[in-house]
Structure 1
Amino acid sequence: MTRPVPVALEIAVTAPAGAVVARDGGADRVELCVGLELGGLTPSQALVEMTHETGIPAHALVRCRPGGFVHDRDEVELMEREVRTVLRSGAAGVVVGALRPDRTLDEDALRRFVDAARSVTPTAEVTLHRAIDHAADPVAAVALLADLGFTRVLTSGGAPTAAAGARTIARMVQAAGPVQVMAGAGVIPADISTLVATGAAAVHLSAKRAAAVGTHAGVPMGAGDDGSAHFVTDAEVVAAARRALDG
């Protein structure tokens, strides 16, 4: 009898310390980024190197700015270079995405990202990030990913949270072919059984909490800064997610 393939647990982290928490809590891999409160941005070379040293496979987000996913020529070239940099620094894979103004996949940009990744590491895993949730038709979009060379896709099914988009995620699983579908966005451990039932190959969550220190209320450092603490990875949430998957 064929054993079912275990559903993987991925934790979004912003520091080597978070990667250690995820590793020790039973995560299978991490997505590494900075600016989690902005949806995530490309981590530095040193951050990738130090996270790689923790021993858990780290997939580096490559996103050069916050905002939408329609990128001009210079931004695409920058992210191509970032793809190569993070992989040379020890990332096990990259997480990328781009759309056209009509909200279809920017296939030319995506091919460039995939080719850049595989030019460094032929076995590099390439994930399409939640740009797919801003596509006009996420189900139709996911059907294109195998031909573009992607390993997996992170999605909420086009909804604000993965739990709310579970029905669409199940449809995406059916349309994705060999591409792994990973459910993520606003996930808490209580959602995991619902997301596993979609057929998703992995569940993704940030498992974050506000740090106990680091506030600077009253002296903002930019238009988007409210002075609140930064986020760190919560060991209890990671452990609860692991238990939910093993349940």
Structure 2
Amino acid sequence: MATPLIEICVEGIDGFLAAQEAGADRVELCASLVEGGLTPSLATVRAAVKAARIPVHVIVRPRGGDFLYSEAEFATMLEDIRILRGEGVAGVVIGCLTPDGLIDEARTKALVQAARPMAVTCHRAFDMTADAGEALEALVRAGVDRVLTSGQRDTALEGLAILKRIADQAAGRITVMGCGALDADSIRTVRDAAGLRELHFAALRTVPSGMAFRNPHVGMGGTGKDREYELTLTDTEAVRATIAAAKS
């Protein structure tokens, strides 16, 4: 089997730089990985593209939660893609569903058309569909280049049977990129069992904030106050170890 391509999912410019330094072949650039990834700021995108020696793919996701978007939200996705196309970004990462758990083909086609000549990946909205096989065919019809999936389970190891079935069904018409808690211990098993040529993971570690003063009386959001004094960083050594395992 050919050496797999490794994409690292990162948050912000520091995550991008760490992943690139650790040997990533490509990066998915996000904000707010605690919500599964949201569209990063334009300044962050520009900083990554300026520093990039590898392709930068940017998630286009206007909010957390489900993948059923209002007309106003969808309009912002189209506009984000239009802007990203002019910024030297290699690809965008998208996903839109219908209320009954199908790929929204009309919107997906519109996003693909807006993105060209950038590459287009469907993110794990795919894993929230009612029928993985039909969802794959919908993505092929819409012209999507790649689908990111854990086999509709929390981890790739749990979703291995569906991952393999989807990879076989794809038959070269669309790239299946496996993900889902991949690390140095599991990535080769998933690679070989599903026959995947692209793999994706986020090697994250949590470190304490450098803040010396901490106001105990106020929080900035819905998460626990302790979370506001933690940073989630890309773990360079874990990225290196997992890439080495995947390419061995």
TM-score (norm 2): 0.92
- Partner SS, residue 7 of structure 2: strand
Q: Displacement, 1:214?
A: 4.8
- Partner SS, residue 144 of structure 1: helix
Size of the alignment, in residue pairs? 240
Quote the Cα distance in structure 1 between the aligned partners of 2:185 and 2:154: 17
Task: Please name the residue that 1:65 is paired with.
Answer: 63
Alignment of 1:112-191 (within 5 A): 112-118=110-116, 122=117, 124-177=118-171, 178-191=173-186
What amino acid is the match of 2:103? L
Quote the Cα distance in structure 2 between the aligned partners of 1:103 and 1:208: 30
Q: 2:200 aligns with which of 171, 187, 204?
A: 204
Instruction: Name segments (4+ residues, structure 1) moved above 6 Å.
Output: none
- Partner SS, residue 237 of structure 2: helix
Q: Displacement, 1:68?
A: 0.5
What amino acid is the match of 2:87? S
Task: Please name the residue that 1:76 is paired with.
Answer: 74
Task: Please name the residue that 2:97 is paired with.
Answer: 99
Which range moves more in the overlay, 32-41 or 207-216?
207-216
Quote the Cα distance in structure 2 between the aligned partners of 1:65 and 1:193: 33
* Structure 2: 5+ residue stretches without partners: none
Task: Please name the residue that 1:88 is paired with.
Answer: 86
Q: Is the 8 A contact 2:12 2:40 kept in 1?
A: no
What amino acid is the match of 2:72? D
1:37 to 2:34 alignment: yes
Quote the Cα distance in structure 1 between the aligned partners of 2:191 and 2:215: 40
Q: Is the 8 A contact 1:214 1:230 kept in 2?
A: no
What amino acid is the match of 1:28? D
Q: Is the 8 A contact 1:48 1:90 kept in 2?
A: no
Which range moves more in the overlay, 141-150 or 163-172?
141-150
Quote the Cα distance in structure 2 between the aligned partners of 1:156 and 1:226: 31
- Partner SS, residue 172 of structure 1: helix
Which range moves more in the overlay, 82-91 or 175-184?
82-91
Q: Is the 8 A contact 2:78 2:114 kept in 1?
A: yes
Task: Please name the residue that 2:7 is paired with.
Answer: 10
Quote the Cα distance in structure 2 between the aligned partners of 1:72 and 1:202: 32
What amino acid is the match of 2:223? G
Which range moves more in the overlay, 223-232 or 129-138?
223-232
Q: Is the 8 A contact 2:96 2:125 kept in 1?
A: yes
CA, structure 1 residues 40+225, in 2 after alignment: closer, same or farther (shift >3 Å)? farther
Quote the Cα distance in structure 2 between the aligned partners of 1:31 and 1:205: 10
Cα-Cα RMSD: 1.5
Residue identity (%): 37
- Partner SS, residue 187 of structure 1: coil
Quote the Cα distance in structure 2 between the aligned partners of 1:217 and 1:129: 37
